[in-house]
Chains A and B, each alone.
Chain A
C-alpha cells in the first residue's frame, strides 16, 4: 500500500494527505484538545496568537485551536450522515430504475428531477418550521438533496451494465433482478459510486458550513466550522484570524476530497496524468 501511495499521482497524494490530516485532528480532539473548547475565560478574550494559545482566543476567551479541532468533528459527522442518507436511499432507487423498465423507472427519474429543484438551503428553510434549526435539520436537508444525485448517477452507470453478456447469462440461469443488481451490477459501478461519495462529501461539508453560518444548522454551544464563521464575522476587523482559521479548515478538507475524487476518477487535471481508480487500488 505504501508503494502504491508513492507512485500514485501527485493530486491523489496531496488529497489523501489533507483528508488524513484533518480526519486525524478531528479524531484526536475527541480525546484531547489543548483547552476545553467550551471553556469561557473572559479575561483571555480576543488574545492574539501566542505560545499559550497557538491560534489565539475568541470573544469569550475560548481557545481557537481547540474549537477548530472539535468543530471538525461536528462538521464531518453532519456531512457523513447526510451523504449516507442520500446514498442509502438514492443508490437502491437508481438500481431499481435501471433494473425495471416502465412506470417504476419513470417514477424514480421524475422524482429525482423534482427533488433537484429543492437546493439544500430551501429544504432546510422548509424543515426548520417543524424541526427547528439544528444538526438534524442540516443532515436531513443536505441528505434529501443527495438522494436524486445518487439515484441519477447509479441509474446512469447501471444501465449499460444491464446490456452486458454476463447479465444475460445470469438471467438465463434464472437469477432474480434483485440478485443480479446486488451481485453483478453494484460491484461493477462501485468505483464510480466511491468517486461520487467523495464529491458529495465535499459539497456536504460546504453546505453544512453554510447552514450553520446562517443559523439553520448546528446551534450553540456545539462548535462547528460554520458556526465559528458566523460568530467571527462580528470581529472581522478586530480579529480576522477568527474567520480565517475555520474557513481554511473547510477549504483544505474540501480541496483534499476533491483531489482524491478526481484522482480516483482518472480525471487528474492537475498533472494531466490519466490514471483510473483501478490503477490506484488494484495493483
Chain B
C-alpha cells in the first residue's frame, strides 16, 4: 500500500516537472525574443539590451527555466511586467472570484445531477424519465458560453433580476457579490449537471438489478432502505470518477465564462496577459491549472486505493 502511494506521488511529481518543461518551451522559448516583440524591429540596440536585461532575457535559457521552477516551488510565481506586481499576488486577488465560482458550479452540478438522475432512475421508462433524459441531451449539447448569453438576455436584459456582468467585490457585502455569481454558476454547471444526471441514472439502474439488492430485500429491508443503503452507495463509484474529471473541466470552463460576464477571475487575468504579452503570467497560471488538474487525478487515484482493496493487490 505505502509503496503504491509513493509510486503514484512520484509519478505526479514527474508529470508536473514535464508539464513545466512543456509550458516553458511553448511560451518562453519557441515564440522567440519577447523584448524584440515588445519594442519592434526598429528598436535601438541599447534600449533592446536594457529591456532584455530587465526581463532577465540575457540569462541562458536553462538558467531562466531553473529560476522559474525554483521560484514556483517556493511560491514565487514571477513578476508581472504590466502590473509590476508578483504573479502570486495577482493570482491570489483573482482566486477569490474563480474558486467560489468553480465550487458553486460543482455544488450546483452535483446537486441537480444527483437528484435528477436518481429521480429518473427510480421512474425508469416513465414519461417523466423520457422527458428528463431528452432535456439532458439538450443540456449536454448546449455550449455553456452561449447558454450564458441566453441567461444574460433573459435574467439581466429582460427581467433585470441579476446583473449582466462585472463583480462588485466581497467588500461591498456578500449579497451583491453572490448575486453577480449566480448566472455564471448556472451557465458553467449546466452541461456538467446534464452529464452527471445521465451517468447517475445509468449507474443506479445497473445496481438496482444486482443480486445484493434482492438479498437486501430478502433480509427484510424496505425498498427505500435497500436503495439508500446498497444501490446508491455502489452507484456512486463511477459517479465519483466523473466528478473528478468535471472539476478539471469547470476550471477550464470558468476561463471562458469569466470572459462572458467580465468577472475579474483567473480567466480574465490570463487573457489580459496574452494580449499584453506578459509571458510569465501566462506560464505560471497555465502551470497552476494543469497542476491542479493533475492533483485532482492523484487524489482520485489515492481515494480508490483506499476504498477498493482489489486495486492494492495489483502491480
Contacts and interface: CB of A to CB of B under 8 A. Distances in A.
Contacts of B289: 122
Interface in A214-268: 214, 229, 232-233, 236-237, 240, 243-244, 247, 250-252, 254-255, 258-259, 267
B279 A270 contact: no
A126 B23 contact: yes
A127 B26 CA distance: 7
B143 A210 contact: yes
B274 A243 contact: no
B218 interface: no
A272 B125 contact: yes
Contacts of B152: 236
A1 interface: no
Interface in B18-41: 18-19, 22-23, 26-27, 30-31
B209 to A, nearest CB: 13
Interface stretch (A58-66, A111-119, A175-183): A111-119
Contacts of B146: 209, 229, 243, 247, 250-251
A269 interface: yes
B143 A114 contact: no
B141 A254 contact: yes
The B contact surface, by secondary structure, is helix
A15 B225 CA distance: 40
Q: Which of A232, A251, A267 has the most CB of B within 10 A?
A: A251
Contacts of A247: 143, 146, 149-150
Contacts of A255: 137-138, 141
B255 A117 contact: no
A121 interface: yes
A227 to B, nearest CB: 13
B120 to A, nearest CB: 9
A200 interface: no
Chain A interface extent, by class? 35 or more
A213 interface: yes
A206 B198 CA distance: 19
Nearest to B249: A119
B11 A110 contact: yes
Interface stretch (B77-85, B232-240, B290-298): B290-298
B153 interface: yes
B66 interface: no
Contact of A258 (B141, B270, B271, B293): B141
A125 interface: yes
B141 to A, nearest CB: 4
Interface string B176-201: 00000000000000000000001001
Contact of A244 (B130, B150, B282): B150
A159 B47 CA distance: 61
A129 B143 contact: no
Nearest to B16: A117
Contacts of B138: 251, 255
Contacts of A7: none
A236 B149 contact: yes
A130 interface: yes
B282 A125 contact: yes
Contacts of A206: 143
A128 interface: yes
Given A214-B259, A247-B150, A255-B141, A125 B286 contact: yes
Contact of A270 (B137, B140, B290): B137
Contacts of A127: 26
Contacts of B255: 121, 214
Contacts of B142: 251
Interface in B198-230: 198, 201-202
A57 interface: no
A202 interface: yes
Interface in B239-285: 248-249, 252, 255-256, 259-260, 270-271, 274, 279, 282
10 residue pairs, one from A and one from B, having the closest CB atoms? A247-B146, A255-B141, A254-B141, A119-B252, A126-B26, A130-B30, A117-B293, A269-B133, A129-B31, A272-B125
8 contacts: A117-B297, A119-B249, A121-B256, A129-B26, A129-B30, A202-B141, A250-B143, A270-B137
Given A117-B290, A126-B23, A130-B26, 6 more contacts: A117-B15, A118-B19, A127-B26, A229-B149, A251-B138, A251-B141
